[in-house]
Copies of this chain bind each other. A is one copy, B any other.
Amino acid sequence: MKRTLGTCYYPEHWPEQMWQADAARMVDTGLTWVRIGEFAWSRLEPTPGDLQFDWLDRAIDVLGAAGLKVILGTPTATPPKWVVDKHPDMLAVDANGHPRKFGSRRHYCFSHQGYRDECRRIVTLLAERYGANPHIAAWQTDNEYGCHDTTVSYSDAACREFRNWLAQKYQSPDALNRAWGNVFWSMEYTDFDQIDLPNLTVTEANPSHHLDFLRFSSDQVVSFNRLQTDILRKHTDAPLIHNYMGRVLDFDHFDVGADLDIASWDSYPIGFLSDRLEATDDHKTRFLRQGDPDMQAFHHDLYRAVGRGRWWIMEQQLGPVNWAPYNPAPLPVMARLWAWEAFAHGSEAVCYFRWRQAPFAQEQMHAGLLRPDNEPAPALAEARQVADEIETLPDTGTATADVALIFDYPSAWAWQVQPQGADFDYFRLTFAFYKALRVNGLNIDILPSTTADLSTYKLVLAPGILSLPDALITALTQFDGTAILGPRTNTKTPNLSIPTPLGPNIPCLDARITHTESIPPSADIPLENGRMVHWFEHLEGAADVALKTKTGAAAMVRNSGLHYLAGWPDPDTLTDIIKTACAREGISTHTLTDGLRLRNTATHRFIFNYAPDAAKWGDTDIPAAGVHWEPLV
């Protein structure tokens, strides 16, 4: 596997006379890739039809001539003002019914046909002009789908398309009424055109209505992206990529990824710890300048699955950013740790965002490899160090994993629609399971719920997947390792109703959930050994009890290796459960504490120290933010 570095560059932000020196300096830094163009529409077409591609031709020439490979972005995340003036109703609408105005980015509704036509036009022009350009070695569609809550729009355009989507899916209003249970509260429709979007209802909308709207919204992202890939495929053989974000769950990345060649993501460890992770103040303070020790790895593993093995980091944090509640600087050498961790998880490329800090506009406080005055920022030397190390470290082969974790976007939507507990969240649950695996030092594969073959794994976890596909149920039933399902797994129909027989309804496992409890943070359910928090399910059935509450109720049941866990264990309890399962399967574990984390490749073990203090790995001292690797024996 070839490991490469890159950066994100905006030639349109700088005088043309700087381009050549920038390109040479990128090469000097050891970079291979340069991403350009993804926000440049107003420079490519300042007014309707006035195409200005010459500057981009020259920029690509300069960069390519210096030996860099160019990733060209389609500019559809930032339509110029004239596009919006031409299609005033293309703006997305928020849940309060307010149009989300021009003046930043991602100001479009995925469902607007007029805007889709504009996208078709500009992407076709770009594909025709640059599809065969030898310097263009990859394409990026749009930018960070879903960022700033932009997947879901309550616009008229979305309403029209949602009705069409429902008509396609259900064929008749009566079928829809039955599927949603609209007899409840007289919500029945006699015509698809009666159906509104599920915002601003008096109390919550029908959860099936809401869930279908979220499914539809995800499908709109998929078809919007496919519109672009269909055009690009006609004109280029270069790989097509999109840059996903962290903890954005409101469209199905597996579905979008199916139309792309490589998955990439934008990794901002420090920003994400600050703005999108549940954690104690102590945890957030300890990892303030490093990021959560598992957040990056989780997304590496997730997007490796989305990319069917091929994945990149398209934007790697390298200094303070501008957009989190608080924006500290990374510890020295963190930009190196983050890159090596990505490589250890199989990334083909890590592109630092961005080349030079822009002195103007929204991201002026977002650090780059260079400062606004063109002097090196601290991360420039770290990038050079990584480039040198790539040269010296032999390829470490493709990693394997004994453990798989199933991840399912529709479950995230269903949990959001109907959490049943105020602090309930599918990502939070799944990430807790992932953390417990990591604390045991395990390599993990994340798999989609469409998986039908688990035979290469010894331990499979499927927490919180509300509705298991038949093929996965079959695979689980035939699996001869240890599987742990639950909580909530397979307890709903795909339309978000309660099935009969009651869940989890797995063949061979005689267990039914009779009723459930959501529990406030001040309370818990003590187990014989450990405790459940947030959630507990009461089970009936003849399955063996593998774990009990203090009062003797079943907390986990099983039939041979197939387990159902009837609640949300706290971190220590979950770590123990996984350790026990690993022991049963002969998987060796390493109990890691604090910020130390492992990742094995085919030939090497990598150890990363996320802590702000030095740590011991065997006899080896690993400094704060340190990376250590050693051959696997």
* A interface residues, Cβ below 8 angstroms from B: 10, 12-13, 39-43, 46-47, 75, 78-82, 85, 92, 94, 96-107, 147-148, 150, 180-190, 194, 196, 198-209, 274, 281-282, 284-285, 288, 319-320, 322-323, 325-329, 357-365, 367, 371-373, 375, 377-378, 418, 420-422, 497-502, 512, 514-520, 522-523, 538
Contact = CB atoms under 8 A, between A and B. Distances in A.
A264 to B, nearest CB: 20
A104 B185 contact: yes
B97 A98 contact: yes
A187 to B, nearest CB: 7
Pairs of residues from A and B, 7 with the lowest C-beta to C-beta distance, nearest first = A181-B360, A184-B361, A42-B186, A359-B498, A325-B422, A181-B361, A78-B186
Contact of A100 (B107, B201, B364): B201
Given A183-B13, A188-B81, A327-B518, A418 B104 contact: no
Q: Chain A interface mostly helix, strand, loop or mixed?
A: loop
Most B C-beta atoms less than 10 A away, residue of A10, A39, A202, A500: A202
A101 B204 CA distance: 11
B377 A42 contact: no
Contact of A201 (B10, B103, B500, B516): B103
Contacts of A523: 285, 288, 328
Given A40-B186, A82-B190, A361-B180, A201 B101 contact: yes
Nearest to A501: B373
A437 B246 CA distance: 46
Contacts of A104: 185, 187, 201-206
A320 B538 CA distance: 12
B520 A361 contact: no
A498 B181 contact: no
Contact of A200 (B98, B181, B367): B98
Contact of A499 (B94, B320, B359): B359
B327 A46 contact: no
A182 B100 contact: no
B39 A184 contact: yes
A420 B365 contact: yes
Contacts of A182: 42, 361
A205 B358 CA distance: 16
Given A515-B319, A516-B320, A186 B107 contact: no
A185 B105 contact: yes
